[in-house]
Structure 1
Amino acid sequence: MNGFLYSLTLQWKLDIRSKSLLVTYYIVPLIFFLLMGGIFTSVMPEMGNTLIQSMIIMSVSMGAFLGLPPSLIETYGSDIKKIYKANGVPIHLGLVSMVLSAFVHLTMTCMVILLLAPILFSASLPSQLPLFFISLGIYIFVSLSIGSMLGLTVKNQAKLTMIAQLVFLPSIMLSGIMFPITLLPDLLQTIGRLFPASWGYRLMLENGFGLENLWYLILVSCIAIISCILLLNKQKI
């Protein structure tokens, strides 16, 4: 247990010192929030009711899809993996530490948005905060599980960047956080539902916490976790 806590603390410090993670976990999401929050609420005043959920979906998606996977390549695609094996360290320890550290970082970013949005843009706070936080935790976990699968599957940094963008951009554009999803053609609405962002967004809305919005997130997370386990087992060979 002490070894795990040490690994988690070390990973936290490494993430804090990483300029790329600082950008994807904090700087870009918060700048996007500060810039677009005012624009959205000025153009569409009714968006104040969902601004917090929209900005959180964007922030979590960026951190999970663009921030976490490159860190996994640095560990499992380099000699660090050999150090794990040589010292008898469980191969999964790096992944677990990075995911938990990312979870904390993304939660902190979301808390900043939650606190500032009502002050800066008169956004509405969720009326059922306990359910909102549960929904937030579920979406962060699901997103990080997908990011972990990407980081363990794709070995080339350039290919990973391209694939991560192909997951991130539709998650933002087709999830309904930028504009009502009903404005999209039926085909794009269907494609948008393939990405967890659409389900996570609905889950965090008022009265959105229910099995009708949970089942897909549970399915995706189970597939991602099983895939990560299989990929890590290959790393042992």
Structure 2
Amino acid sequence: MNSFLYGVALQWKLDIRSKSLLVTCYIVPLIFFLLMGGIFTSVMPEMGSTLIQSMIVMSVSMGAFIGLPPSLIETYGSDIKKVYKANGVPVCSGLVTMFLSAFVHLMITCVVIMLLAPVLFEAALPTQLPLFFPALAIYITSSLGIGSVLGLTVKNQAKLTMIAQLVFLPSIMLSGIMFPAGLLPDFLETAGRIFPASRGYRLLLDHGFCLENLWYLIVVFITAVIVCGIVLKKQKAK
């Protein structure tokens, strides 16, 4: 257990030094928040009640879909995994430590947004904070599950970048965080529900913590665990 915790702490420190993760988990989400937060609340003052949730969904989506997968492909797409085998380390250790490290980084970014939004843009804090943080943890977990699948199944960095963007952009545009999803054509609104961002956004809203918004995220995470398990088992057999 001590060695596992040491591995998580070490990975967290390595991620801090990673320019890729620094950009996708901190710099870009916070710059987007600082720029768009003022624009959203100026153009649509009523958005102050959902600004925190919107910015959090964007930040989590970027960190999970664009930030985590490249780190995984660097490990499992190279000879680093052979080091795990040579030292008797479970092949899943890299995934688990990167997953937990990314979770902590994204949670920090979300807390920063929650602290700054009321001060800078007079945004309203969630009224149900005891339920908000479990909802946030579930949403981050399910999003990182998809990011883990992308990082383990896509072997080429160029293809990974393209596919990650194809997951990230619809997640943002069709989730309802930029504008009400009801303004979209019916087929686009339906398509948006496929992505966790839409369910996560509704889950994070006041009084949104309910089974209707939870079940899909839980299914996504369980499916991601199964897929990752199958991929890692095949890699272990090689």
TM-score normalised per structure 2: 0.99
What is the CA distance between 1:215 and its match in structure 2? 1.0
Rounded to whole Å, the distance in 1 between the matches of 2:127 and 2:13 is: 35
What is the CA distance between 1:151 and its match in structure 2? 0.3
Which residue does 1:182 correspond to in 2? 182
What is the CA distance between 1:44 and its match in structure 2? 0.2
Which residue does 1:164 correspond to in 2? 164
Which residue does 1:128 correspond to in 2? 128
Which residue does 1:196 correspond to in 2? 196
Rounded to whole Å, the distance in 1 between the matches of 2:113 and 2:225 is: 29
2:155 aligns to what SS in structure 1?
A: coil
Rounded to whole Å, the distance in 1 between the matches of 2:124 and 2:2 is: 42
What is the CA distance between 1:6 and its match in structure 2? 1.4
Displaced runs of 4 or more, over 3 A: none
What is the CA distance between 1:217 and its match in structure 2? 0.8
Q: Deviations over 1:10-38 (max 9, x none)?
A: 10111000111100010000000000000
Q: Deviations over 1:110-165 (max 9, x none)?
A: 00000000000000000100111011000000000110001000000000000000
Rounded to whole Å, the distance in 2 between the matches of 1:146 and 1:184 is: 25
Task: Tell me whether 1:2 sits opposite 2:2 in the alignment.
Answer: yes
Rounded to whole Å, the distance in 1 between the matches of 2:234 and 2:24 is: 29
Letter in 2 for 1:107: M
Unaligned runs of 5+ in 2: none
Letter in 2 for 1:145: G
Unaligned runs of 5+ in 1: none
Rounded to whole Å, the distance in 2 between the matches of 1:13 and 1:207 is: 36
Which residue does 1:219 correspond to in 2? 219
Which residue does 1:13 correspond to in 2? 13
Rounded to whole Å, the distance in 2 between the matches of 1:63 and 1:75 is: 18
Rounded to whole Å, the distance in 2 between the matches of 1:29 and 1:101 is: 17
Which residue does 1:43 correspond to in 2? 43
What are the within-5 Å matches in structure 2 for residues 106-121 of structure 1?
106-121=106-121
Rounded to whole Å, the distance in 2 between the matches of 1:18 and 1:220 is: 28
Rounded to whole Å, the distance in 1 between the matches of 2:222 and 2:89 is: 25
Letter in 2 for 1:165: Q
Which residue does 2:94 correspond to in 1? 94
Rounded to whole Å, the distance in 2 between the matches of 1:136 and 1:45 is: 24
Rounded to whole Å, the distance in 1 between the matches of 2:204 and 2:88 is: 42
Rounded to whole Å, the distance in 1 between the matches of 2:213 and 2:168 is: 20
Letter in 1 for 2:227: S
What is the CA distance between 1:213 and its match in structure 2? 0.6
1:236 aligns to what SS in structure 2?
A: helix
TM-score normalised per structure 1: 0.99
Task: Tell me whether 1:229 sits opposite 2:221 in the alignment.
Answer: no
Which residue does 1:62 correspond to in 2? 62
Cα RMSD for the two superposed structures: 0.5
Which residue does 1:144 correspond to in 2? 144
Q: How many residues align?
A: 237
Rounded to whole Å, the distance in 1 between the matches of 2:159 and 2:183 is: 32
Identity %: 78
What is the CA distance between 1:235 and its match in structure 2? 1.0
Q: Deviations over 1:43-77 (max 9, x none)?
A: 00000000000000000000000000000000001
Rounded to whole Å, the distance in 2 between the matches of 1:5 and 1:49 is: 38
What is the CA distance between 1:3 and its match in structure 2? 1.2
